Amino acid sequence: MHHSLRRVIASVVLLISAHAALAQAPPTVQLQNLTWTELREQIRAGKTTVIIPIGGTEQSGPYIAVGKHNVRAEYLAQKIAQQLGNALVAPVVAYVPEGSYAPPTSHMRFPGTITIPDDVFEKLLESAANSFAVHGFRNVVFLGDHGGYQKDLKQVVAHLNKTWANTSARAILPSEYYDAASDGYAQILRQHGYRDDEIGTHAGLADTSLQLAVAPQMVRLSALKASPRLGAADGVYGGDPHRSSAELGQLGVDAIVSRTVEAIRKDTAGR
């Protein structure tokens, strides 16, 4: 066989193999479930938005598991990425500022809460974002599920965008994500007849309902229903979770996903 013909056949075989490999890439938006070559091909094909879901490991009363924010942030980020169509989801950040440990303050007074200093948290996020920018991601979206570090996220995004001023990369913090999960969801629950002293700010009806919709195995529902009224000493702040349900939680999930998708689309239009 002539050498040039052999080279053509070899090139065709390589091309077919590459297409087959791309076709076999799993239908996932989770970055950690892809190989580096699958990622390279997806970025080249236009998946240039990466979402960093940020949770937190903290107490959420006696009846919700301490990984609540981590599982919820990852679940919501996946839904958001699927709707966007051009996004992938980074591994969830589970270690976040939760107060002091000498002496223990805030949620650190309860076993299972993990805390890190604000500066360590900010450096971690900046390092992750720079890693993504190096590999061709143009929009790095931070979704923070917990209220305590929102100020840190604003500082990280401002610093990254200053650093990236002359590049094609940009950091995005859609306020709609946390707004929809907190005040926005509380408003929806009020419209359905629930009171503020039920809705609460932490481990109340809103928090528990969201978790029942996202990961019901993390809620000890039968024990909760049988329990007396809970308070701050139990780690439940300003609410009563007794009438929580997955159906109510789904209202919140739908609002968070749709409002965040719309915000990211508007922010990245034309990029």
* Pairing, β 49-54 against β 87-89: parallel
pLDDT digits (tens, 9 = 90+) for 220-267: 999 999 999 999 999 999 999 999 999 999 999 999 999 999 999 999
The maximal CA–CA distance of the chain, rounded, in angstroms, is: 85
Residue bearing tokens 């239908």: 27
**What gap in Å lies between CA 208 and CA 214, rounded to an integer?**
10
Dihedrals φ, ψ of 64, to 5°? -125, 130
Give the pLDDT score at 192.
97
Which domains occur in the chain, in start order?
A: 26-268 (3.40.50.10310)
Is residue 140 within 8 A of residue 171, CB to CB? The reply is yes
Which is nearest to 31 in space by CA: 92, 83, 80, 75? 92
Task: Grade residue 4 by pLDDT with cuts at 50, 70 and 90.
Answer: low
Higher pLDDT, 27 or 239: 239
Q: Is 250 helix (H, G, I), strand (E, B) or coil?
A: helix
Q: What is the DSSP string of 172-227?
A: E--HHHHHIIIIIHHHHHHHTT--HHHHEEESSHHHHHHHHHH-GGGB-HHHHHHS
Q: Is the pLDDT of residue 27 over 80?
A: yes
Which is nearest to 195 in space by CA: 267, 137, 243? 243
Is the preceding omega at residue 103 within 30 degrees of 0, hence cis? yes
Determine which helix (DSSP H) or strand (DSSP E) holds 70, and give its type and residue range. helix 68-84
Give the pLDDT score at 7.
62
Give the pLDDT score at 230.
94
pLDDT digits (tens, 9 = 90+) for 58-117: 999 999 999 999 999 999 999 999 999 999 999 999 999 999 999 999 999 999 999 999
Is residue 88 within 8 A of residue 48, CB to CB? The reply is no
Q: Is the pLDDT of residue 177 over 70?
A: yes
Q: Is the pTM of this model over 0.75?
A: yes
Q: How many CB atoms lie within 10 A of CB 63?
A: 23
Sheet holding 170-172, edge to edge: 87-89, 49-54, 139-144, 170-172
Q: Is the pLDDT of residue 138 over 60?
A: yes
* Helix locations, 135-174, DSSP H: 150-163
